[in-house]
Structure 1
Amino acid sequence: MASRSRTSRALLTALVTASVALPVSGAARPAAVPAPVPAPAVPLRAADPASLDARYAAGRRDMWAAREVAARHGDARRAATLADMAGPGRSFLMFDGRDGGRGAEVLGDLSRAERVAVLVPGAGVDLDHYARVRRDAEALLAEVGGASAVVVWLGYRPPALLSTAALTPARAQEAAPALRALVRELGTARPGARVSLLCHSYGSVVCARAASALAVADIVLYGSPGTGADRVGSLRATATVRAGRGREDWIAGVPHLALPLPFGTVGFGTDPVATEFGAALFDAGDCGHSGYLRPGSVSLRSIAGIVAGIGDRRA
């Protein structure tokens, strides 16, 4: 009882700390940069080159339109980011520059992909911090190799890293329908492909909220604070749920409780790498919180093995 009380106080302390930090972090949020409403996306019914090119061209047009608005707004950094994202060799199934930005970028040839990995990033990721997630996707694609594609799905409003929103499942609940829609679209376009969902940090909360309706082979939780579920069975997932945590990841120190409070639940419950959660564990080596897909790392090899369908590929 005393241990639970101390943990509860630690979690509440984190909540208070985040509440104090929120005005500071919020002031710098890129959501204040205006952007136009994107054109409605044409449903992707097949992943043939012509259909994909049409979707990619639409995403590029939306990016250039957002770039023009950002430039007129006086935000040179955002304008430069969008110009780079709309450049040659970049492919987005969707893009929306409003409210911090949304996007689904494809790396690799989706029209030929036999394996598709969908990366769901966590807190603190927006258009101005997107480049590091893309680097992770590039490293994963290179490691998996072969007929593979990686989709970086920034299709929701990730909470700021230091914010009350990062301690509750509210943003994840908002995000779940859009993630389900993306997975359905990929399943329609590439019905024979093996799809894996890779869920980092707060992204694992998003994946958990969508899990019961996802037709994927694996749901991979890494750097996870918890999912809001006490065990794998509570997710009602048909996929194999896997979990890993690097030995240098600070997320290990997050209290694994779910505390009901008047405004909602704080915390995400059982540790996904705990035996009682019931996930299939993989070796994440000694990586830190942002290093799971670092080239040459044990964690990257393990995750690439899962995507490839050969399990935890050890060093």
Structure 2
Amino acid sequence: MTTPSDELKTAVIIEDDSEIRHILAEVLESSGFSTVSVGNGIDGVRAVLTYKPLLTTIDVNMPGIDGIEAAKRIRAQSDTFIIMLTGLNDEADVIAGLGAGADDYLLKPFRPRELRARVEALLRRSRPVAGGATQPAPAPAPSQGSVGPSFPSARPSTTAIPTTAGTGPLEAPAETPAADPQPAAAASVPSPVDADGEWLVHRDLRLHPENRIVLIGGGELELTRTEFDLLATLLESKRRVRSKADLTLVLRGESYVTSYFVGDADKRAVEAHMTNLRRKLGDSAASPRYIETVRGVGYRLTSDAV
């Protein structure tokens, strides 16, 4: 039987190209993960439910259900870190992938060193736990090798997963509750009057960094980890402009490393996350209430004046 510590050392690779699967497995295993590799979205969702991995990589273009749909189904039942891999450089595809619940994305072809850096950055971030609190993501343990899409008994699951192929939504068996994704603004967290610590406030928007609660107009808002971290950074910075490169380093936990390379793909990822964040806030880039764009520089909070 696998233990929770075993599960946290695992990465699931969902990729239909066998050569890229092999490269991904080599990079992740060299970073201390054991890997489970599958060739389509349906098997990928089953693998995530079975192994409860710390990390999942998903190719966007796959037969059957594509990577966007696979990410949505996984995010509905798991808090695994998701990295989308795509050969598409269109902003709409990036926004769709991040909106489906991905934490980061990489364009193909990618450099193994870049993938390793992205994974290390994700592992420095907090993971949601029950009750709205957070805990640091554990470092991966020494590699245990790669296993294939047949889910061999060498790594048995504590959850029986149905094996009948199909394209409908997949659910965990009735006797085992589905994993709770616990988004950044979890519904189970304490009310504002009971929460400890300081609130960050801008107009009718309130954010509690410690308990990861976001309230807007008195109602609770559900954000992804990245959206929450972006919003918290802007609220802490108030009217100080934060560049896209600066926000990229903050999300990677490298905010004090000024020599870290930030490319155009990183900046586009910040733009995509910001688009999703604004949509959830009901905000408009043209007439912003909460976050304004400083053209050619970055983002900052709007003035407190109505």
Interval of TM-score (by shorter of Structure 1 and Structure 2): 0.3 to 0.5
Report the TM-score when normalising by structure 1.
0.32
Normalized against structure 2, the TM-score is what? 0.32
